[in-house]
Structure 1
């Protein structure tokens, strides 16, 4: 058993992969041979990731607020607490908060010596983000 005390600072999401205010807390980063990592990600209203893909896929589990997500070629979907979203391996997608609500999710990823955890692509345009359905 290993207990890691909460000593890692919250970090701000880098501007080269997100739009708006995004904050990240590390949850899990098990040593090899495990390939799993997890982060608690806080998106302030209107904040979102850039388009990106995960060679081994990604699962996000919404814990708070109201969010949006979209896979390339699909509609913008509204996500709420308790929703689990699986992005398939190499599926281009983005996720973030609704325009008027914050959103928090746990992002679960895999990576190893042969597979990067993520490949960042282009920013989500305001037009792409604005294609979301109305959020109550």
Structure 2
């Protein structure tokens, strides 16, 4: 799905949600691993992969936290050539349907625009597609993952 960032709906965070950039890869990866199907055995390798993208300004990692400090939602935004591609947009299952994913996506789009991005792209699972459509994203293609 893609979107011209200037046409995106702006979604404020729900009450009690604080969205900030994070560098705490241990907590961040553990949070997105839980909703992305990354096994506990794969978390350490995923943290190492994330470290490869640290510090050059092309990656934005947003964590949504409630008052207790626990991460309830994540977004990774990768900036390149005026395009932001969103990854690991996810909300912990017990916190879904409260606007957290939409607010995290909207926050990532705002930051990306401030850093020069004009277009956004992402791949959506069926569970998130309506969230992205409501923000203004439109499908541009489809692929199917096959498992055996």
What is the TM-score of this pair, normalised by structure 1? 0.28
Higher relative contact order (CA 8 A, sep 6+): 2
